[in-house]
Amino acid sequence: MSTLDSPERGAASLPGPAPHILAIQAPYYRDVVEGMLRGAERVFADVHAAVEVAEVAGGYELPAALAMALKSPRRWDGFLLLGCVVKGETDHYTFICEAICQGVMDVATRSAAAIGFGLLTVDSIAQAEARSRNDRMNKGAEAAHAVLGQIALARRWGVAG
């Protein structure tokens, strides 16, 4: 892999109080998703974030779980969504991936919630494992940086998600 595949990131920073993050994960490929969560937790540790983890059955359930969390009386500063879909021999992969992505985007744009979207859509488990290792290619860490950036932007603009 090229070093251009993933940016080199320094320690995370976020103005204001330590954030509360809800990580919603679809652990169908548990080792992969837990590897991404560990990558995200390392990033969140830099800003002393409190992280709560909730599990759903699969990637398809991620958008609905996010919508439910946003309707909950509990409040989080941001949301981290983690999952993995591995391509098979049928069109199922395409339909599932498109539905998940569109569902998350619909919830995100309606709610203005700070979201880090860590859904791996890969051809093989080997590709997923490469993106969940404890290195700079960890997509959970990238999604954690994304949600912290969104939280910072929401705070700057006075937007409550």
Q: Is 109 annotated as ligand-binding?
A: no
Q: Is 117 annotated as ligand-binding?
A: yes
Annotated catalytic residue 20? no
Q: Is 129 annotated as ligand-binding?
A: no
Helix (H) or strand (E) holding 78: strand 78-86
Three-state secondary-structure class, residue 52: strand
Nearest to 119, CA basis, from 65, 77, 62 = 62
Q: Is 86 annotated as ligand-binding?
A: yes
Among 20, 48, 92, 145, the active-site one is: 92
Q: Is 55 annotated as ligand-binding?
A: no
Q: Is 85 annotated as ligand-binding?
A: yes
Q: Is 60 annotated as ligand-binding?
A: yes
Q: What is the 3-state secondary structure (H, E, C) of 93-161?
A: HHHHHHHHHHHHHHHHHHHCCCEEEEEEEECCHHHHHHCCCCCCCCHHHHHHHHHHHHHHHHHHHCCCC
Residue positions forming the annotated binding site for 5-amino-6-(D-ribitylamino)uracil: 28, 59-61, 84-86, 117
Catalytic residue list? 92
Residue positions forming the annotated binding site for (2S)-2-hydroxy-3-oxobutyl phosphate: 89-90, 131
Residue positions forming the annotated binding site: 28, 59-61, 84-86, 89-90, 117, 131
